[in-house]
């Protein structure tokens, strides 16, 4: 929760600090500049995925999780003390950039380390349910950030928020990360990792990952549509409602806050459902819904003139996305053997996020600035359509034995092979 609080508050408070670092241009141009730095953090995620994924496979899941929160704490401190343009010119932008690079490194490893830990620590028939709590905690971090924003909007004036109030969430995030560092030092390692028979020199290496190239490609392809949709309806939604739909910032923030609370509650329900019916039905439902509903939902959201219509449409979008968010962590972890599981999830996922998730907000603002904002709606739908093809052709991963070493993930991708032990055909 604290990791993702720190990651998301940059985006949610960007409307308040954009003018402090980029004083020139209109509001959309300023947001594009801050969104560009937001995207830079995503391009560091593959580096973090490789570095911290390697740590997770060689030193353990606990070591990787401890390191990620250390990097996140340092980045939050940097943003909290970053000088404005009036004080240091573009020196403040340089500080923001360094902080986002550190955040990218941290989150690049955090996703895989937590996904792997939750999946490995769960009973075989409960992996979908247990791993769904990754997005519960991610969303809780965003809810906490939006909740703090709502409090600040009601206790500080607009001028105070724009001048110094935006620094408060980063101070809170830095303090929270310090607490989490202490908690993670006392975590237990997972049995799957402890019992892995993989030679230590083979753990977490690119050489070992290359033996699972198809699985790595699958992670990229199945992430593509999900990450674009997720960041569109979470990170970008508040800006869209205020900058395009014309809702007051306070109303737009409240819409996102309420929608995300419902979204978080849906994750365990969908995760548990996947333990009963499999992962593919939920993934396919998400992709079909995103492919055909994105354009109508975004078009209607643009015309939503008040709280309730905006909330209803936002909830519809988030219900559709739940088919992806609730189970994507365990699906990816189920594809790889223990010795390369953390790196196998981290690096391909981070690459997909850098290419599609991190750029979603910037692409949206680029279309808006070009006067063809509806083009972004079709872009999101197109990414979902590509992932739909992958979901339709991949095999089920629900019953894979995580303690099998070497070939446990192969049947999930081999369309010509028959069912094997613990891997039902699609």
Is residue 270 over pLDDT 90? yes
The pLDDT-based confidence of 417 (bands split at 50, 70, 90) is: very low
pTM of the model: 0.82
3-state SS string for the chain = CHHHHHHHHHHHCHHHHHHHHCCCCCHHHHHHHHHHHHHHHHHCHHHHHHHHHHHHHHCCHHHHHHHHHHHHHHHHHHHHHCCCHHHHCCHHHHHHHHHHHHHHHHHHHHHHHHHHHHHHCCCHHHHHHHHCHHHHHHHHHHHHHHHHHHHHHHHCCHHHHHHCHHHHHHHHHHHHHHHHHHHHCCCCCCHHHHCCCCCHHHCCCHHHHHCCHHHHHHHHHHHHHHHHHHHHHCCCHHHHHHHCCCCCHHHHHHHHHHHHHHHHHHHHHHHHHHHHHCCHHHHHHHHHHHHHHHHHHHHHHHCCCCHHHHHHHHHHHHHHHHHHHCCHHHHHHCCCCHHHHHHHHHHHHHHHHHHHHCCHHHHHHHHHHCCCCHHHHHHHHHHHHHHHHHHHHCCCCCCCCCCCCCCCCHHHCCCCCCCECCECCC
Query: Cα separation of 167 and 82, whole Å?
Result: 9
Q: Which of 6-20, 30-44, 177-191 comes out lowest in average pLDDT?
A: 30-44
pLDDT category, 198, cuts 50, 70, 90? Answer: low
Q: Which of 82-86, 174-178, 407-411 has the lowest mean pLDDT?
A: 407-411
According to the model, what pLDDT value does residue 16 have?
87
Quick one: average pLDDT of 114-121? 91
CA 18 to chain centre: 22
CA 217 from centre of chain = 18
Q: Which of 150-164, 269-283, 305-319 has the lowest mean pLDDT?
A: 150-164
Is the per-residue pLDDT at 280 higher than 60? yes
> Which residues, in sequence order, are CB contacts of 247 under 8 Å at separation 6+?
241, 255, 304, 305, 306, 307, 310
pLDDT level of residue 201 (50, 70, 90 thresholds): low
Lowest-pLDDT range of 39-43, 80-84, 169-173: 39-43
Q: Which of 16-20, 70-74, 302-306, 370-374 has the lowest mean pLDDT?
A: 16-20
Percent of the chain residues past pLDDT 70, beyond the cut: 92
Query: What is the per-residue pLDDT across 105-117, written as a single tens digit (0 to 9) for each?
Result: 998 888 888 999 9
Residue 27 has pLDDT above 80, yes or no: no
Q: What percent of the chain has pLDDT over 90?
A: 58
**pLDDT number for residue 422:** 41
User: Residue 359: which of 31, 35, 88 has the closest Cα?
Assistant: 35
pLDDT in the model for residue 380: 97
Report the alpha-carbon distance of residue 35 to residue 314 in Å, rounded. 21
Tell me how many degrees the CA angle 323-326-327 measures, rounded to the nearest 5.
90
Q: With 90 as the cut, is the pLDDT of residue 379 above it?
A: yes
pLDDT of residue 12: 81
Other C-beta atoms lying within 10 Å of the C-beta of residue 316: 18
């Amino acid at each position: 929760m604290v990791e993702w609080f720190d990651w998301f508050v940059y985006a949610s408070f960007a409307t308040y600090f954009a003018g402090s670092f980029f004083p020139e241009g209109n509001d959309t141009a300023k947001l594009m500049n801050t969104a560009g730095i937001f995207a830079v953090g995503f391009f560091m995620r593959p580096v973090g995925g490789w570095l911290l994924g390697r740590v997770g496979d060689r030193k353990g899941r606990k070591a990787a999780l401890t390191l990620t929160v250390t990097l996140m704490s340092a980045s939050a401190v940097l943003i909290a003390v970053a000088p404005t343009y009036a004080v240091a010119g573009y020196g403040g932008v340089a500080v923001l950039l360094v902080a986002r690079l550190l955040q990218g490194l941290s989150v690049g490893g955090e996703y895989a380390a937590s996904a792997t830990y939750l999946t490995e620590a769960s009973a075989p028939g409960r992996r979908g349910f247990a791993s769904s709590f990754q997005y519960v905690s991610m969303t809780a971090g965003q809810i906490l950030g939006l909740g703090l924003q709502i409090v600040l909007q009601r206790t500080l004036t607009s001028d105070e928020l724009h001048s110094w109030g935006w620094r408060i969430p980063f101070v809170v995030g830095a303090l929270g990360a310090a607490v989490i560092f202490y908690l993670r030092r006392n975590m237990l390692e997972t049995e799957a990792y402890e019992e892995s028979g993989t030679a230590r020199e083979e753990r977490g290496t690119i050489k070992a990952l290359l033996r699972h190239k198809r699985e790595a490609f699958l992670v990229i392809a199945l992430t593509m549509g999900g990450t674009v949709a997720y960041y569109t309806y979470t990170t970008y939604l508040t800006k869209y409602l205020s900058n395009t739909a014309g809702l007051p910032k306070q109303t737009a923030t409240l819409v996102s806050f309420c929608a995300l609370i419902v979204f978080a509650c849906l994750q365990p329900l969908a995760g548990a459902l996947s333990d009963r019916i499999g992962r593919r039905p939920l993934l396919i439902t998400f992709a079909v819904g995103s492919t055909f509903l994105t354009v109508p939902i975004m078009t209607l959201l643009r015309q939503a003139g008040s709280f309730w219509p905006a909330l209803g449409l936002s909830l519809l979008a988030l219900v559709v996305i739940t088919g992806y968010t609730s189970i994507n962590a365990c699906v990816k972890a189920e594809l790889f053997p223990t010795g390369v599981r953390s790196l196998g999830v981290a690096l391909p996922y981070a690459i997909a996020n850098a290419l599609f998730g991190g750029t979603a907000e910037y692409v949206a603002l680029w279309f808006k600035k070009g006067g063809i904002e509806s083009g972004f709606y079709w872009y999101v739908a197109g990414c979902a359509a590509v992932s739909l093809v992958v979901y339709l052709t991949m095999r089920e991963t629900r019953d894979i034995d995580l303690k099998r070493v070497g070939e446990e993930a192969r049947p999930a991708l081999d369309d010509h092979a028959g069912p094997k032990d613990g891997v039902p055909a699609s």
